């Protein structure tokens, strides 16, 4: 079978909810939470050199260069799979510039339509640039319930284009007693609510990344039953904004570690930060940025001020301490996961490194 037909076959397998295997199972999975000036970008690389990039941050050569720089560490010839969680500039604004630095083979997304046309200045042009880059690769449009085999890991799609999975990622999906205390927010019909959200599993290790999925959708993933299960690493939704991260989800998934991909003046809202910090069984919260003190924002559903000395973790657990988004040098948080469920988190700024051994009992 020729390479083109093989790729088409893989895409069809995914569309049908099937699984395609790429190479042998690697020994570890490296995961980088990259500082892209308040946006989102997470790179997964297997020991075999297979790669998955979820989101590519904001527009600008400086931002795309940070992602390409980490790719060069592995001598990657291409990004095998780029997954766009949704079509906002802080998540896909840097795609076209990144593709000019390193080829992207596959584009995974919720489809060729953006649901915020004209809502943000420059959004239509940004989306046009994304579609132009997308047209040069193999496109895989995913729906909730699909499962992809990428970079030696299973990528379980739990949300896409506003639709949520109806089946548990693993197990039976136990009832969630927190559901009875949930208070909904105003219904969100933006691109955020259409985010492609995934549970990435690597053997017994699991990581949840929901893009910018919003409050009510997150509730529906865990109520009346928790379809996500227990998670090892939680990439906080929506940069740690209070438009997302409800207690009903965060406390139900009982993460061992949370990574907050906030900017200095974006995300890490007091309400969301405290929800994560108070999660039963949480061992550590790591932040991509120090959160600068600032007043609450009504548009972000904040009632309390955010940031400052009492609303940040200890400095060794913060990758970037600068108070501006465009600082240099920049640092990342790295997770190295093993199939037995154990993992290590490392701060590239100071070498702070902590191992989280595999659990001996069932989660």
Residue range 98-130, pLDDT digits in tens: 999 999 999 999 999 998 755 665 678 899 999
How is residue 143 written in tokens?
A: 């729906």
pLDDT(15) > 60: no
| Mean pLDDT (the chain, rounded) | 91
Identify which has the larger pLDDT, 140 or 328: 140
How do residues 215-256 score in pLDDT, each as one tens digit?
Answer: 999 999 999 999 999 999 999 999 999 999 999 999 999 999
Identify which has the larger pLDDT, 148 or 362: 148
In the sheet that holds 79-83, the strands lie side by side as 138-141, 104-109, 79-83, 51-54, 42-46, 29-33, 333-337, 343-347, 353-356
What is the four-CA torsion angle of 300, 302, 220, 153, rounded to 10 degrees?
70
Report pTM.
0.91
Class of CATH domain 18-356 = alpha beta
pLDDT(50) > 90: yes
Mean pLDDT lowest among 48-62, 109-123, 134-148: 109-123
Report pLDDT for 61: 85
How is residue 162 written in tokens?
A: 């506003």
Report pLDDT for 30: 98
Report pLDDT for 361: 61
Cβ pair 233, 259 in contact under 8 A = yes
């Amino acid at each position: 079978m020729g390479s083109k037909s093989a790729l088409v076959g893989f895409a069809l397998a995914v569309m049908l909810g099937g699984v395609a295997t790429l190479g042998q199972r690697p020994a570890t999975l490296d995961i980088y939470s990259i500082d892209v000036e308040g946006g989102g970008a997470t790179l997964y690389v297997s020991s075999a050199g297979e790669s998955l990039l979820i989101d590519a941050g904001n527009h600008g050569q400086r931002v795309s260069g940070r992602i390409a720089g980490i790719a060069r560490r592995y001598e990657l010839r291409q990004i095998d799979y780029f997954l766009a969680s949704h079509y906002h500039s802080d998540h896909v604004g840097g795609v076209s510039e990144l593709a000019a630095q390193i080829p992207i083979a596959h584009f995974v997304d919720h489809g060729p339509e953006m649901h915020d046309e004209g809502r943000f200045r420059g959004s239509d042009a940004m989306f046009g640039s994304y579609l132009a880059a997308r047209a040069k690769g193999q496109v895989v449009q995913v729906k909730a319930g699909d499962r992809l085999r990428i970079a030696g890991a299973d990528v379980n799609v739990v949300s896409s284009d506003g639709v949520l999975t109806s089946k548990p990622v693993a197990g039976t999906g136990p009832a969630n007693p927190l559901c009875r205390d949930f208070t909904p927010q105003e219904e969100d019909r933006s691109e955020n609510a259409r985010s492609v959200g995934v549970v990435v599993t690597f053997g017994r290790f699991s990581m949840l990344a929901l893009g910018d999925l919003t409050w009510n959708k997150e509730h529906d993933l865990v109520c009346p039953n928790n379809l996500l299960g227990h998670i090892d690493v939680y990439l906080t939704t929506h940069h740690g904004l209070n438009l997302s991260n409800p207690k009903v989800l965060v406390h139900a998934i009982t993460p061992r570690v949370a990574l907050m991909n906030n900017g200095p003046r974006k995300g890490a809202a007091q309400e969301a930060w405290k929800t994560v910090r108070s999660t039963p069984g949480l061992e550590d919260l790591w932040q991509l940025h120090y959160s600068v003190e600032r007043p609450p924002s009504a548009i972000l559903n904040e009632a309390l001020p955010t940031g400052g000395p009492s609303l940040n973790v200890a400095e060794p657990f913060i990758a970037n301490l600068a108070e501006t988004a465009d600082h240099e040098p920049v640092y990342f948080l790295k997770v190295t996961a093993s199939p037995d469920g154990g993992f290590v988190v490392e701060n590239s700024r100071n070498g702070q490194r902590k191992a989280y051994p595999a659990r001996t009992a069932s989660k």
